[in-house]
Amino acid sequence: MIFAGSQSPDWEPRRRSSSFQTEFPSLSLGTSEIVAAVVTTYFTFLPSFLFILAGGPLVESTHGNLKFTAPLSAITAAVVGVILNLAVFFAWHVFWPQGFEGRFDCIAALIGACALMALFRYKAGVIPVIAVCGAAGMLLLFIKSQLVQQGIFL
């Protein structure tokens, strides 16, 4: 006879839990998730900080030595190129969400232009500009359906 799921005589439900919660059973599930995220983040970025702190003086000691500065300049140029490529990629997907054949998103372009003006002309901080642009985007998301019902197309 074939049993399905819970009808099987040897079937016993098993509760899954993370190994972190098994090690520290007094922590609630939410607390253990937060602690695990903090531990993971700490050990993910710790090696980078150690390399920077340990390698910084070594890199500074090569200042003026063409044998070391030329490759580092090339690496810096490559990193700037990658960042510029990512900026163009994200701008393309934000300003033309359906591709170049689709509509140009004027509101996203306006928010981006205001952000550029705030950063370069008014010397605003990056974090406040990101926060204001994110708030403007969220506000637009919430009121867009009401604007479309009123006959205003964005």
Query: Structure tokens of 150?
Result: 């009123």
Q: Nearest-5° angle of CA 101, CA 105, CA 107? A: 170
Mean of pLDDT values over 38-58: 89
Residue 10 has pLDDT above 70, yes or no: no
- For helices 106-120 and 126-149, angle between their N-to-C axes, nearest 10 degrees: 160
Separation CA 27–CA 20 (nearest Å): 9
For residue 5, pLDDT beyond 60: no
61 pLDDT band, cuts 50/70/90, is confident
Cβ pair 92, 103 in contact under 8 A: no
pTM over 0.95: no
- Pull the structure tokens for residue 16: 């899954």
Write down the pLDDT at residue 29: 76
- The pLDDT of residue 83 is above 60: yes
Best CA proximity match to 32, nearest among 44, 43, 24, 40: 24
